[in-house]
Chains A and B, each alone.
Chain A
Amino acid sequence: MKLTCLSKGDGFHYPPCHMLNLCGFRILIDCPLDLLAITIFSPFPYDVRFEASEYPSDVPLDAQSPTQKKQKLERQMTPDDLVCAEPWYKTVKALHLWEASLIDIVLISNPMGLLGLPLLTQNPRFCAKIYMTEATAKIGQLMMEDLVSMHMEFRRFYGPDDSSFPWWTKNLDGEEVPALLKKVVFGESGDDLGSWIRLYSLDDIKSCMKKVQAVKFAEEVCYNGTLIINALSSGLEIGACNWLINGPNGSLSYVSDSIFVSPHAKNFDFHRLKGTDVMIYSDFSCLQTAEVTENGCNSPDQDNNSTISSDKNDENLAASLLDTEESLEELEKLAFVCSCAAESADAGGSTLITITRIGIVLQLLELMSNSLESSSLKVPIFVISSVAEELLGYTNTIPEWLCEQRQEKLISGEPSFGHFKFIKDKKIHLFPAIHSPNLITSWQEPCIVFAPHWSLRLGPSVQLLQRWRGDPKSLLVLEAGISSGLGLLPFRPIAMRILQCSFLSGIRLQKLPTLLSVLQPKIVLVPDAFNGRINHTEMKPIPMLTYSENKTLRVPRTADNPDVEIMAELASKLSWRILRQGENFGLARLKGELLMEGGKHRLVSGLEQEASSGKATGLRHWGSVAPETLLDSLVKMGITGSIEHSTGGNGSEDKCVIHITNPSSGFIETSDIGTAIITDDKNVASQIFQAIDGILDGI
């Protein structure tokens, strides 16, 4: 088995990407897009931005703003540094080095891992089998469609552009270009240019999804008779999974970002990953250090800069994996977001939530509607996205993919998620786009808006942020990591309160030793970045290898030799040899047909097994022939002869010759290593052979 980590990704929205070589098959795990990279593009054409900043906001941008801007951005970037062009998208660089036709299998672990796949399936030589869960396929497809629809708005600005080279990078290698921007465009090592690609179309998505084989959790699918592939819930998101692959050379588990106790999706199903021969640990979430310090916001009131972080260092290591502490903490964060939104609404400000993690959105919708209902505040909630209606509708028809508490709701006849009721009661309003005709009529401020895209470059969030950025009463809820980069640059200065949220998106490092001691893999592969972060003594009994980005790691076989399963019926038909030497053994030549079936070698009755009649070929004998014994047997057959011993002179073997005199002449030479029958009389030779065969053990 060989593992090549093509990319270690970057957080929830950009999962890692690996190439695996297993039993001679090439398996690509996930095919994401680095959507954070599109922050190098300006969210609006230059002139539009100019106008936009003149936009009369409720609270006029005060006079100090320009100076503040100057101070803040001195020797730093200005919005003008951003690329004014239709965005291109950054894919996994190393993936382009692999010939598409050589990939046999693609495994997609979660909707985010699907976003780049149409770029791969566009390739006419691509012919791999693609597996993902039904829910990942559905949610991922909606996410891609939403991405395309948001992107189309850019096309309206810039018009069609069919260049195949990212021409907009031409002016970005100059010295005056900010380093941060260059790093995103050209990469750390400066060779990322080839990973920029134009976005796919709706047709590309469609044809990509046609090639997908969607599976259920714990459904066994068999690839080529050799590999049995299982998608097992990871708890990260609805439909997100880890992989268990069983083959003739052992079992392999792939653990991606996983959440033990999920408040919406099915929990991390780790029990089924027990005792695999190889475990690939690919949960990088613990390396995402939460941005506690800088949040790139120049809001006048520092207290408003709340950062929620999932970082908690001194956690009890011995805590069981399924403790509810984590989920309670997560719930607290959500409640805090709700209370902040309520505060804003109280003060007459609106809230813009750009988080698009579906699990978080579903929970926030539920919590906010509930808390608004119990308070006197009458604030409408808007969800603006081209796929909101379908996505929210879908989540109420998939009890099988949800956590147990949500499943219980089905049993009692309630919808899985609370938003169902609130949409019906017109407390939550769904609109496909910001220019939807009905939106104008039901629009009302203050309000709470859920709008993509989290990168703040696409979708309705851009316009809404423009609208509210100067309003200190309004609240902006962001995904973690956005404010520290280029994210907020085009919207500065911002008077809005900013809440940056990082939610639990994987296994905390402290839980890894416990998890490993529960799962007991024969060998575990962890990212090299874990070196120094994990206490190796704790992992002691389990051998560990580390893998690095873009290096191929060869993993020695830890499994025993594979079994061959022989149909009992066939085994009883084999002709068993009884041995003179070593009566503890039973030997039989195999017959039948060897198949690879369901990941197992199987020997079954073949059609033609009787065809090779007569003596089996390739006879083997062992032991030695005592000349006297042989002569005795020959005499019984009516063959007479005499024995002549010859002690090997000059180092040659001891040899013995039996001269045959009757019925025809010939002789037998026998030594420790072999016996030769020398005669041209076929019958005599056969008889002699029979006699020898009777003395030696053989098969």
Chain B
Amino acid sequence: MAIDCLVLGAGQEIGKSCVVVTINGKRIMFDCGMHMGCDDHNRYPDFSLLSKSGDFDNAISCIIITHFHMDHVGALPYFTEVCGYNGPVYMSYPTKALSPLMLEDYRRVMVDRRGEEELFTTAHIANCMEKVIALDLKQTIQVDQDLQIRAYYAGHVLGAVMVYAKVGDAAIVYTGDYNMTTDRHLGAAKIDRLQLDLLISESTYATTIRGSKYPREREFLQAVHKCVAGGGKALIPSFALGRAQELCMLLDDYWERMNIKVPIYFSSGLTIQANMYYKMLISWTSQNVKEKHATHNPFDFKNVKDFDRSLIHAPGPCVLFATPGMLCAGFSLEVFKHWAPSPLNLVALPGYSVAGTVGHKLMSGKPTTVDLYNGTKVDVRCKIHQVAFSPHTDAKGIMDLTKFLSPKNVVLVHGEKPSMMSLKDKITSELDVPCFVPANGETVSVSSTTFIKANASDMFLKSCSSPNFRFSNSSTELRVTDQRTADGVLVIEKSKKAKIVHLDEVSEVLHEKNHVVSLACCCPVKVKKESDDVDVDLIIKQLSEKISEKVSGAEIHETGNCLQVGSFKGSLCLKEKCAHRREISSSSSEAVFLCCNWSVSDLELGWEIINVIKQNL
């Protein structure tokens, strides 16, 4: 059986995450994102690769959205309302609550910008969200008879999840974006040790190793503080949800401690509204925040106010969180246009900016002028601060997660090609796990685990319930093997379910009678003759000692004139003429004989013992 992993987006790039995995006939779409840096048809994943006819309901079993970032959910209304996908869509409770806010915010930005044609309408968003089924963490959801999915905490943003999907015996995890360390308001990703055929991981920071984030947080706070102390205005372009809350918690707290009175603004009521959601979804935040919550809800910011457009040109310092992030359009870009020319001001860019955005241009190099989308140029004299802590895991985190889950294969998405390639080498060489970095439109196929189900008999299960260890001395070390399973026989009968029975039951199953094959011989024992009497006990005792000396691991039972090792049984033969005795060897009439027989199960053991007996005592 194979698992096919078709990458529709975020292959060797960041943006429009969309991976379609086929497991044992079930096809799951993980994320349905939009590329913020593209204006053309490239902004959406190429859905035509899924179905030429556009019958997506039959092409896909379900969609699972990992979190509310536009590069993960941005194409969903388009896919459900324009492309007509009608099947189930799953996302966590917070993602279901917050995605519409993000989508609506983005839609408005895009429409405002150059009067661009609407990609999807407000009604599209609402209709789309009606199709969404909300997930709780760790809850096992049976999508249909065969497909099972489960969400795990991913950190990153409120409600972000990693997704486990299982069909039959084959299982995979798609991480979405995740963070392996706790931040201001969210916990670290948390997942069970699972048996996986494939792990699909993000790799935004595939080569970065970050130390403690506290110095970086301090850097950010100091940069903002310095700006406002110097009378400047600090612009923090960010999306309404996620980073805004994290940075705001940081600033609000710092403002309290340092007794700073400079106003902190949010550009739209959206973020204030978003804080309301955060308060209700407090159970998805970090342990630390949850504990504090009983006394004070950390999303009740003390120093934060709503921003008014007229304040753009108001004198005096301030801090402004403006949407959208990455300075890709809209209000944040407008404010940037006005504030960028002043050297007093500051632009703090949190997180990753995708290629093609103004944010990206500011981060790559130190441009003195920047082209805005409509052709106007802006002088950039303000300071640029790149917030150096991020809600994405670093390379160590990816390695740790991979090591922890030890999947059979890894696919990397959501990263930049060069660093993904070096992480791939690292995973292959250090963890010995095959790793793939497919580009958009490519499919990776890996084989999947299957188990054959066989009905076990009571006798076999009973014999298995107590261990049956065998010890053997190999050349250097003592080996312990458990023979339990070797007593089991897998029986396959045409057009019937496979069975496992105990060795002793096989003939019964076949309607046959057992046929015992055994060996026998009457073997001369060479004894030193001290008297005419034969001391039976002594001979048995001597033989027994000898056998235990020569034959490793033999457990010998002595009874009267008998000795027994496994199925091997030897008893002193007092018959004058024994049928099992070779005629010629009875030349010495005084010899003592041991009449032996053993089953073919102990074929070799028997001969070993015979050899010992034949030697002189």
Interface of B is mostly: mixed
Task: Indicate whether B591 reaches chain A with its CB closer than 8 angstroms.
Answer: no
Query: Which A649-699 residues have a C-beta within 8 angstroms of B?
Result: 664-666, 672-680, 682, 685-686, 689, 692-693, 696-699
User: Would you call B455 and A565 a contact (CB within 8 A)?
Assistant: no
Interface centre among B293, B452, B483, B582 (most CB of A within 10 A): B452
Tell me the bound Cα distance from A588 to B493 in angstroms: 12
User: Would you call B500 and A673 a contact (CB within 8 A)?
Assistant: no
**Binary per-residue interface labels of chain B (349-376) against chain A in the complex, 1 for a CB within 8 Å, 0 otherwise:** 0000000000000000000000000000
Of the stretches B134-142, B204-212, B414-422, the one at the interface is B134-142
Of the stretches B21-29, B335-343, B516-524, the one at the interface is B516-524
A-B residue pairs, 3 tightest by C-beta: A565-B451, A674-B516, A622-B512
**Binary per-residue interface labels of chain B (466-508) against chain A in the complex, 1 for a CB within 8 Å, 0 otherwise:** 0000101010000111111111111111100000100110110
User: Would you call A621 and B516 a contact (CB within 8 A)?
Assistant: yes
Task: Indicate whether A432 reaches chain B with its CB closer than 8 angstroms.
Answer: no
Closest chain-A Cβ to B24's Cβ sits at a distance in Å of: 13
Task: Indicate whether A72 reaches chain B with its CB closer than 8 angstroms.
Answer: no
Interface centre among B481, B517, B607 (most CB of A within 10 A): B517
**Binary per-residue interface labels of chain A (401-444) against chain B in the complex, 1 for a CB within 8 Å, 0 otherwise:** 00000010011010110000000000000000000000000000
- Taking Cβ atoms with an 8 Å cutoff, the residues of B that contact A are 93, 96-97, 100, 129, 134, 136-142, 169, 273, 276-277, 279-283, 293-294, 449-458, 461, 464, 470, 472, 474, 479-494, 500, 503-504, 506-507, 510-523, 579-580, 582-585, 597, 599-604, 607, 610
User: Would you call A621 and B515 a contact (CB within 8 A)?
Assistant: yes
Specify which chain A residues have a CB less than 8 angstroms from the CB of B580 in the assembled complex: 678
Tell me the bound Cα distance from A622 to B283 in angstroms: 66
Tell me the bound Cα distance from A390 to B470 in angstroms: 60
With A585-B492, A586-B492 already in contact, the answer to whether A411 and B515 are too (CB < 8 A) is no
Task: Indicate whether A75 reaches chain B with its CB closer than 8 angstroms.
Answer: no
Tell me the bound Cα distance from A324 to B590 in angstroms: 101
Specify which chain B residues have a CB less than 8 angstroms from the CB of A74 in the assembled complex: none
Tell me the bound Cα distance from A674 to B607 in angstroms: 20
Specify which chain B residues have a CB less than 8 angstroms from the CB of A399 in the assembled complex: 93, 280-281
Closest chain-B Cβ to A646's Cβ sits at a distance in Å of: 13
Task: Indicate whether A582 reaches chain B with its CB closer than 8 angstroms.
Answer: yes
Task: Indicate whether A63 reaches chain B with its CB closer than 8 angstroms.
Answer: no
Q: How many residues of A contact B (CB 8 A)?
A: 88
With A673-B515, A674-B516 already in contact, the answer to whether A563 and B280 are too (CB < 8 A) is no
Specify which chain A residues have a CB less than 8 angstroms from the CB of B464 in the assembled complex: 594
Could you name 17 residue pairs across A and B whose Cβ atoms are closer than 8 Å? Answer: A216-B136, A218-B141, A399-B281, A413-B97, A560-B455, A561-B461, A564-B455, A587-B492, A617-B602, A623-B515, A672-B513, A675-B515, A677-B518, A679-B521, A680-B610, A693-B517, A697-B510
With A413-B273, A413-B276, A416-B280 already in contact, the answer to whether A617 and B516 are too (CB < 8 A) is no
User: Would you call B515 and A622 a contact (CB within 8 A)?
Assistant: yes
Specify which chain B residues have a CB less than 8 angstroms from the CB of A218 in the assembled complex: 136, 139-141
Specify which chain B residues have a CB less than 8 angstroms from the CB of A590 in the assembled complex: 485-490, 500
Task: Indicate whether A608 reaches chain B with its CB closer than 8 angstroms.
Answer: yes
Specify which chain B residues have a CB less than 8 angstroms from the CB of A606 in the assembled complex: 482, 485
Closest chain-B Cβ to A282's Cβ sits at a distance in Å of: 24
Specify which chain A residues have a CB less than 8 angstroms from the CB of B470 in the assembled complex: 612
Number of A-B residue pairs, CB cutoff 8 Å, is 251
User: Would you call B486 and A567 a contact (CB within 8 A)?
Assistant: no
User: Would you call B513 and A614 a contact (CB within 8 A)?
Assistant: no
Query: Which A138-177 residues have a C-beta within 8 angstroms of B?
Result: none
With A563-B453, A689-B603 already in contact, the answer to whether A608 and B506 are too (CB < 8 A) is no
With A220-B140, A587-B491 already in contact, the answer to whether A603 and B521 are too (CB < 8 A) is no
Tell me the bound Cα distance from A579 to B492 in angstroms: 12
Task: Indicate whether A624 reaches chain B with its CB closer than 8 angstroms.
Answer: yes
User: Would you call B485 and A603 a contact (CB within 8 A)?
Assistant: yes
Task: Indicate whether A512 reaches chain B with its CB closer than 8 angstroms.
Answer: no
With A564-B454, A611-B479 already in contact, the answer to whether A410 and B280 are too (CB < 8 A) is yes
Further 17 A-B residue pairs, CB within 8 A, beyond A397-B279, A591-B485: A218-B136, A218-B141, A397-B293, A400-B136, A410-B97, A561-B461, A565-B451, A585-B494, A606-B482, A617-B602, A618-B487, A621-B515, A674-B515, A678-B520, A678-B580, A680-B610, A697-B512
Specify which chain A residues have a CB less than 8 angstroms from the CB of B503 in the assembled complex: 618, 620, 699
In the complex formed, the residue of B with least CB distance to A562 is B456
User: Would you call B486 and A617 a contact (CB within 8 A)?
Assistant: yes
User: Would you call A617 and B517 a contact (CB within 8 A)?
Assistant: no
In the complex formed, the residue of A with least CB distance to B499 is A561
Closest chain-A Cβ to B510's Cβ sits at a distance in Å of: 6
Specify which chain A residues have a CB less than 8 angstroms from the CB of B134 in the assembled complex: 400, 407
Tell me the bound Cα distance from A71 to B96 in angstroms: 65
User: Would you call B520 and A676 a contact (CB within 8 A)?
Assistant: yes
